[in-house]
Structure 1
């Protein structure tokens, strides 16, 4: 019996043991688990895309230039054009059946599977929900829903294997801002990066083996493509670049491959400053010019397929490789709601929930 169950005269809900006889029934406090992903526009039209991009690109964790310089450029120049091109990209991968982005569809399914598994472990003690840093469902709304359901303790779980300031940190920041508005704050934990967890590496390795087995010809090299960050972030103490490099090394070792079988690259660069490299879109073309006819690309920094993987990698980066002389291109899907991925996430959650349930 858990410690708080001794406070009640019957499991789940009842009178507090030491309360007066006429005290109304009190629901037992619950623990919330809130999964957080990057975000998604509500639609692919101009207004939806502009609203989403404005929120995303106004985040000082994402673009940390002075607002006095950045906001006029963003609002008057970038957001007059970019919503059209971004909307086109989203339309090419949009889940038309549910009228939502694939990221939203996949994150919802991940949440459902995790909720079912935790219910088997802890019954109705755990409430699982998900949110987006940008767009809907909002972080603030999800935190308040959990509190309304009796969650006095919440584990906040950013779905980023590697820690980065523009992803993990801003997700945490946004959750903390909501807590600052609450009269009664729940106890709150943030989950750590899990890039080096053996179960996560095992799931990555299994996905590679499956994709290679299904390819018409075995790829000559695997490109591990991570979302890029400005190079100065590395020098300012952000561990993301190092954690990406370690992820690739651990995956290589788990597969039993040599150094030449896998390469680390970075995608999605924008802006004038120098970013960590090599750039995926350029490096795959260089591989083709070097005589590599068949390659595979995996995205270990994304917990769910999204516009950066379904459009950027499978369309733009693939095109770069084929136009440079490549012949075979295999995309290794994100881990999404694979059972081994769900089990890897559950392993981290159970560890972080220890002492609470």
Structure 2
């Protein structure tokens, strides 16, 4: 902390100027008990980017019905995968590992000029709290990187919204940049392909199901490009692996409510594959940058069970890229490109 040159003695000290890189993911409850789950779900399901019904219509349903029951079932799902040693969700554990790796790479490239930190859209650490910490540490420029390869209003856009709201709270507002979706980057596709090859030992499966988080079909017709981004990721992955076009199927999971969502639904699709005699499949989740409740509990629980119950014999889950060196290399390249002109 120093005073500007030629400033009077009573001028407040300011920190040395730095560049911030803020990594953002969806979020996680602080614990699995009813009230922790209720707080988390209330914040998540009150987001109008996620549920875009009028508040007067949605909030009574959310507060009166959903948040009375859902914290119990969601808490049970989280307890089944909880990192008890660290007392946190796997998403939190993996995000910390990712950021540690990115900090190491950033230090090697830029020394102490770049500060790397992370936040969550829902839960802790909150986006406003981390933005405030970065500003107080001297960051007068912040690059914001939501960890969503494919853009969606309910993921990338709401993370950006929260980042911009956090900037509104700052007296001395830093310059800001956000990162574009990276669903088609060759190095990202290469990292995905590498994870498939490692998991399957180089074999070509009868069927690889690329299961992406779902969204209401209506969002697609209203202009959200998510569906197209997912399809392109699957197509590029298959091309990179050199497989026939019918080996990879794209499907969507985590359907919520009565509205029609993007199809096919993964839980129905894998059961249909088994009934058609395709009894050995692999599943990958390219929309998730880190394994979480949707992959560790839903894919390896509900979706696996649906496949096996319908006659499936072998179900292989291919983990997310997580803190794999190839993934961290992709993210480091994205960061370096987006810091152009700043450093």
Q: Distance in 1 between matches of 2:8 and 2:49?
A: 53
Match of 1:119 in 2: 107
**Within 5 A, what are the aligned runs for 1:83-102?**
83-102=71-90
* Matching residue within 16, 27, 39 for 1:28: 16
Match of 2:216 in 1: 230
User: 1:242-270 CA distances to partner (integer Å, 9 max, x unpaired)?
Assistant: 00000000000000001111100000001
Match of 1:270 in 2: 256
Q: Are the counterparts in 2 of residues 219 and 330 from structure 1 also a CA contact under 8 Å?
A: no
Q: CA, structure 1 residues 25+142, in 2 after alignment: closer, same or farther (shift >3 Å)?
A: closer
1:344 equivalent in alignment to 2:326: no
* Matching residue within 112, 126, 135 for 2:123: 135
Q: Distance in 1 between matches of 2:76 and 2:23?
A: 28
**Within 5 A, what are the aligned runs for 1:247-258?**
247-258=233-244
Q: Distance in 1 between matches of 2:6 and 2:236?
A: 55
Q: Distance in 2 between matches of 1:247 and 1:193?
A: 11
Q: Distance in 2 between matches of 1:104 and 1:15?
A: 38
Secondary structure at 2:246 match in 1: helix
Q: CA, structure 1 residues 14+62, in 2 after alignment: closer, same or farther (shift >3 Å)?
A: closer
Secondary structure at 1:34 match in 2: strand
- The CA deviation at 1:183 is 1.3
- The CA deviation at 1:20 is 7.1
Structure 1, unaligned runs of 5 or more: 1-12
Q: Are the counterparts in 1 of residues 205 and 247 from structure 2 also a CA contact under 8 Å?
A: no
Structure 2, unaligned runs of 5 or more: none
* Matching residue within 37, 51, 55 for 1:67: 55
Secondary structure at 2:20 match in 1: strand
1:220 equivalent in alignment to 2:217: no
User: 1:189-243 CA distances to partner (integer Å, 9 max, x unpaired)?
Assistant: 01110111111100000000011119xx863110000000111111111110000
1:327 equivalent in alignment to 2:316: no
Q: Are the counterparts in 1 of residues 15 and 136 from structure 2 also a CA contact under 8 Å?
A: no
Match of 2:143 in 1: 155
* Matching residue within 281, 287, 299 for 1:301: 287
Match of 1:105 in 2: 93
TM-score normalised to structure 1 length: 0.93
Q: Distance in 2 between matches of 1:280 and 1:259?
A: 19
TM-score normalised to structure 2 length: 0.96
Match of 2:28 in 1: 40
Q: Distance in 2 between matches of 1:113 and 1:246?
A: 28
User: 1:74-102 CA distances to partner (integer Å, 9 max, x unpaired)?
Assistant: 00101111000000000000000000000
- The CA deviation at 1:19 is 4.1
Q: Are the counterparts in 2 of residues 219 and 328 from structure 1 also a CA contact under 8 Å?
A: no
Q: Distance in 2 between matches of 1:351 and 1:218?
A: 34
User: 1:259-300 CA distances to partner (integer Å, 9 max, x unpaired)?
Assistant: 111100000001111111100000000000110111000000
1:178 equivalent in alignment to 2:171: no
Q: CA, structure 1 residues 79+290, in 2 after alignment: closer, same or farther (shift >3 Å)?
A: same
The alignment covers a number of residue pairs equal to 342
* Matching residue within 270, 290, 310 for 1:284: 270
Of the two, which has the highest radius of gyration?
A: 1
Task: Identify the range of structure 1 (231-240 vs 20-29) with the bigger mean alpha-carbon deviation.
Answer: 20-29
Q: Distance in 2 between matches of 1:126 and 1:356?
A: 10
Secondary structure at 2:201 match in 1: helix
Q: Distance in 1 between matches of 2:246 and 2:221?
A: 27
Q: Distance in 2 between matches of 1:136 and 1:196?
A: 30
**Within 5 A, what are the aligned runs for 1:307-322?**
307-322=293-308
